[in-house]
Structure 1
Amino acid sequence: MTIRYLKHRAQTAADSTAPTVDVSAIVKGVIDDVRANGDMAVRKYSEKFDQWSPPSFKLSPADIEAALAACPQQTIDDIKEVQRNVRAFAQAQRDSIRDFEYEIQPFRGGTDGRKGVFLGQKNLPINSVGAYIPGGRYPLLASAHMTILTAKVAGVPHVVACTPPIAGQIPHATVAAMHLAGADEIHLLGGVQAVAAMAVGTESIGRVDFLAGPGNAFVAEGKRQLLGEVGIDLFAGPTEILIVADDTADPLTVATDLLSQAEHGPDTPAVLITTSERVGQATIRLIHELLPNLSTAALAGTSWAQFGEVLVVDSLDEAWRLADEYASEHVQILTQRPREALEKMTAYGALFLGEKTCVSYGDKVIGTNHVLPTKKAARYTGGLWVGKYLRTVTYQEVTNPSASGHLGRLCGRAARAERFEGHARSGDLRAQKYLGDSYAWIPTSDKASL
Structure 2
Amino acid sequence: MAETPLKSAPGEQPQATQAISDTVREMLATLRTGGAQAAQDYARRLDGWEGEIVVSPERIEQAIAETPQSLKDSIGWAHDNISRFAAAQRATAKDMQVELRPGLVAGQKQIPVRSAGCYVPGGRYSHIASALMTIATAREAGVPDITACTPPNAAADGIPSPMLYAMQLAGASRILTLGGVQGVAALAFGLFGGRPADILVGPGNAYVAEAKRQLFGHVGIDMFAGPTDILVLADATADPETVANDLVGQAEHGPTSPAWLATTDRALADTVLSRVPQLIATLPPANREAATAAWRDFGEVVLCADAEEMAAYADRKAPEHLHVQAADLPWWRDRLRAYGSLFLGASTTVAFGDKAAGPNHVLPTSGAARYTGGLSVHKFLKTVTWQEVGDDALPDLATATAAISRAEGMEAHARTADIRLDRAATPAKQAVGETG
Alignment TM class, shorter chain as reference: over 0.9
**Alignment partner of 2:12 out of 8, 14, 22:** 14
In the alignment, the residues of structure 1 paired with residue 142 and residue 376 of structure 2 have an alpha-carbon distance, to the nearest angstrom, of 13
- The answer to whether the aligner puts 1:39 opposite 2:36 as a matched pair is yes
Letter in 1 for 2:44: E
Percent of residue pairs identical:
45
- Please say if residues 145 and 195 of structure 2, whose CA atoms lie closer than 8 Å, have aligned partners that are also in contact: no
Contact 1:154–1:387, Cα closer than 8 Å, also in 2: yes
CA positional deviation for 1:21: 7.9
2:4 corresponding residue in structure 1? 4
Aligned pair 1:208/2:208, yes or no? no
Contact 2:54–2:192 (CA under 8 A) maintained in structure 1: no
Q: Shift of residue 165 of structure 1? A: 1.1
**Residue type of the alignment partner of 2:326:** T
Unaligned runs of 5+ in 1: 106-114, 439-450
Q: Give the letter aligned to residue 396 of structure 2.
A: H
AA of the residue aligned to 1:384: L
- Aligned residue in 1 for 2:130: 143
Match of 2:142 in 1: 155
- Structure 2 residue corresponding to 1:422, chosen from 409, 412, 417: 412
Which stretch shows the higher mean deviation, 119-128 or 286-295? Answer: 286-295
Q: CA deviation at 1:344?
A: 1.4
Note if 1:318 corresponds to 2:309. yes
Q: Is the 8 Å Cα contact of residues 373 and 381 (structure 1) preserved in structure 2?
A: yes
In 2, the alpha carbon distance for the partners of 1:14 and 1:264 equals 15
Of 221, 229, 234, the residue aligned with 1:240 is 229
The residue type equivalent to 1:317 in the other structure is E
Q: What are the equivalent positions in structure 2 for 1:389-408 lying under 5 Å apart?
A: 389-399=380-390, 401-408=391-398
Q: Is the 8 A contact 1:145 1:177 kept in 2?
A: yes
> Are the equivalent residues in 2 in contact too, given 1:405–1:432 (CA < 8 A)?
no
Query: Any idea what SS the aligned residue of 2:343 has?
Result: strand
- Deviation digits for residues 78-115 of structure 1, max 9, x if unmatched? 1111000001111110111110111121xxxxxxxxx1
Matching residue of 2:298:
307
* Unmatched 5+ stretches in structure 2: 429-436
1:187 corresponds to which letter in structure 2?
L
1:122-133 to structure 2, matched below 5 A, reads 122-133=109-120
Does the CA-based 8 Å contact 1:405-1:433 persist in structure 2? Answer: no
Number of aligned positions between the proteins: 424
1:198 alignment counterpart: 187
- In structure 1, the partner of 2:74 is 78
8 Å contact 2:151–2:178 — kept in the other structure?
A: yes
- Three-state SS of the structure 2 residue aligned to 1:103 is strand
- CA shift for structure 1 position 363: 0.4
- The offset of 1:219, in angstroms, is 0.4
The alpha-carbon deviation at position 288 of structure 1 amounts to 2.2
SS in 2 for 1:49: helix
Using structure 1 for the length normalisation, give the TM-score: 0.92
Q: CA shift at 1:137, angstroms?
A: 1.3
Deviations 1:215-264 (A, max 9, x none): 00000000000000000001110000000111111000100000000000
**Aligned counterpart, 1:263:** 252
The amino acid of 1:158's aligned partner reads D
CA contact (8 A) 2:323 2:349 kept: yes
Which residue in the other structure is 1:278 paired with? Answer: 267
The aligned residue for residue 360 of structure 1 is 351
In 1: Cα distance, 2:147 partner to 2:371 partner:
29
Question: Residue in 2 aligned with 1:89?
Answer: 85
Supply the distance in 2 between the matched residues of 1:147 and 1:281 (Cα, whole angstroms): 39
Aligned to 1:445: none
Q: Of 45, 51, 55, which residue of structure 2 is paired with 1:48?
A: 45
Give the SS at the match of 1:356: coil
Letter in 1 for 2:106: L
2:203 & 2:330 partners in 1: Cα distance?
29
- Taking the aligned partners of 2:40 and 2:54, their CA distance within structure 1 comes to 12
Q: Equivalent residues in 2 for 1:246-257 (5 A)?
A: 246-257=235-246
Alpha-carbon distance, 1:20 to partner: 8.0
What is the alpha-carbon distance in structure 2 between the residues aligned to residue 380 and residue 21 of structure 1?
26
Task: Output the CA distance in 1 between the equivalents of 2:399 and 2:104.
Answer: 15
8 Å CA contact 2:199–2:220 kept in 1: the answer is yes
Structure 2 counterpart of 1:130, which letter?
Answer: G
Contact between 2:181 and 2:211, CA under 8 Å: does it hold in 1?
yes
Q: 1:180 aligns to what?
A: 169
The one-letter amino acid of 1:192's match is V
Once residues 403 and 51 of structure 1 are traced to their aligned partners in structure 2, the CA distance between those partners, rounded to angstroms, is 66
Q: In structure 1, how many angstroms separate the alpha carbons of the residues matched to 2:27 and 2:385?
A: 38
Which one is further off, 216-225 or 330-339?
Answer: 330-339
- Residue 26 of structure 1: CA displacement? 1.0
Aligned equivalent of 1:102, options 98, 112, 115 = 98
Q: Using the alignment, how far apart are the partners of 1:202 and 1:331 within structure 2?
A: 38
Matching residue of 2:434: none
Alpha-carbon contact 2:186-2:192 (below 8 Å) kept: no
User: In the alignment, residue 31 of structure 1 is paired with which amino acid?
Assistant: L
Q: CA deviation at 1:402?
A: 3.3
Could you tell me which of 56, 64, 83 is aligned with 1:68?
Answer: 64
Q: Does 1:23 align with 2:14?
A: no
Deviation at 1:339, TM superposition (A): 2.5
Aligned residue type for 2:278: E
Shift in Å at residue 436 of structure 1? 5.1
- Secondary structure of 1:122's counterpart equals strand
Compute the TM-score of the two structures, normalised by the length of structure 2: 0.95
Measure the CA separation in 2 of the matches of 1:276 and 1:380: 31
Q: RMSD over aligned Cα, in angstroms?
A: 1.5
Measured after TM superposition, the shift of residue 129 of structure 1 is: 0.3
Match of residue 350 from structure 1? 341
Deviations 1:276-315 (A, max 9, x none): 1111001111112212111221111110011001100111
| Helix, strand or coil at the partner of 1:402 | coil
2:392 is paired with a residue of what secondary structure? helix
